Amino acid sequence: MDTHTPSPGVPLTIAARLNRLPVTRRHKKIIAIIALGNFFEIYELFLAGVLAATLKTKFALTGFDLSLVLASAFVGAFVGAVLIGRIADRLGRRRAYMITLGLYSVFTLLAAFSTDLWMLVLCRFIAGVGLGGELPVTDSFLGDILPSKRRGYFVAWAFTLSYTAVPVVGFVGMIVVDASPLGIDGWRWMFALGALGALITFILRRHLPESPRWLESVGRTDEAEAVTRELEDAARTEGWAAPAEDEANSPVSTGPVSASAMLRKPLLRRTITMAIVWILAVVGYHGFSSVATLVLTGKGISVTNSLLYVSLAFVGYPVGSLLSMLVMDRFERKWLLGGSLVVMAALGLAYGNAVTPVWIVLWGFTFTVIANLMSNVTHVYQLEQYPTAIRTTATGRLYSLGRLSTAAAPLYLIPMLEHSGAGAVFTLVAAALAVAAVVTVGFGVATTGRTLEEISPGDAPTAVVNPRPARTGP
């Protein structure tokens, strides 16, 4: 894809007009609606880990059976990340959002009525297909509409709202899991609550605009112009005045990019780097949530107390998101990502070897703070790697590797925990995180403070599908 920077006096591109805007109340409303959907996605991803000990007892599960329950949603998410990511680039971000929430809400509700292991695994797998597309579409959509100078801060803001789901699922589990409201097992209520919330979000998301960057990339320029003008009008009502055009322009794309470009130079290095990050970083991130309660019950701590300690530790997730808001746009993101991975490795080892309640909670809380700093940086860093035309496809494919890695993790972490103990589990996790850190720092590209068009088109692939003349106007 060839690019050039328009000369002064040439009408601004859609990207340039979006980048020069302040973040308005209209932006924040869009972010909040997106964050609400992510809340229930994250709720579901952490739900099985919180319920692990309870489901093991209720369904008389073996270690392998429990691994299937924990892995099923992530295997589904692997499929969903590939399929829905491609749908988002072909049919639009908004339509993809409807698919993700529709699948999740229906099959999470059905999971609440599970009568045996296989029904539960099947429902969680199909719900996972919907979950798999949620975060790739979110990253692309937020990257598409947010101005470059505030992109990191407000993506972190969205995930901070979303990650309040983690302590919520922990504390709700602590209250409900041993109860039977209206004579119905508490774990069934937890699935039903997730489905209800997703349904409400589905209704709210019907009013989201489509991404103007995506609309322009597929030739729907009139619609792109309408959405961009709406955002500009919202900014004007808050006192914003447009700067001179020749001070704010961005490169103009001369054609769409094939999805296969992510496997060719110069994007290949980015693809390999992010693939390694997604495969290894999630071993620590989701591995912790999957085995945290099992580690504690294995040390002789009761299920109720284990849920309490883990719930207190999970408070660190939104705290870590808040921390990421403070540093996201102040430091180079690849260094933030690499540094947080190293700190996670050390804290995981400390948690695995802790024996007293105070140290269990302290190390667990600190681990989750840094883990969510890492997670938010990864989301922002990922959305910055590829051009608009393939952003969600590429992001979805890379996410799918992370979901597959997460699905596989219980299959070896739980047997390792049973046979070798928590120390061995967190030693393996630390090694995976250290490798991801080295790769990120050594091969990652600098992105902080740069526009998406500066980051991607300057390194754009030479292969172009159906090239067309450059558009010099919105």
Max mean pLDDT among 40-44, 358-362, 463-467 falls in 358-362
pLDDT(10) > 70? no
Query: Which has more pLDDT, 464 or 79?
Result: 79
Q: How do the domains of the chain map onto residue ranges? A: 3-459
Quote the pLDDT of residue 466: 37
Give tens-digit pLDDT for 196-212: 888 888 888 888 999 99
pTM of the model: 0.74
**pLDDT, mean of residues 118-131:** 90
The C-alpha atoms of residue 311 and residue 314 are separated, in whole angstroms, by 5
Of 474, 21, 20, which Cα lies nearest the Cα of 247? Answer: 20
Quote the pLDDT of residue 49: 67
Share of the chain above pLDDT 90, in %: 27
pLDDT(461) > 50? no
Quote the pLDDT of residue 166: 78
Confidence of residue 229 (pLDDT cuts 50, 70, 90): very high
**pLDDT, mean of residues 124-149:** 88
pLDDT(289) > 90? no
**pLDDT, mean of residues 134-151:** 87
CATH of 3-459, one of 2.40.50.140, 3.30.360.10, 1.20.1250.20, 1.10.3720.10: 1.20.1250.20
Confidence of residue 125 (pLDDT cuts 50, 70, 90): very high
Give tens-digit pLDDT for 297-340: 777 787 668 778 887 888 888 899 899 999 998 999 999 999 99
Weakest-pLDDT range from 170-184, 257-271, 447-461: 447-461
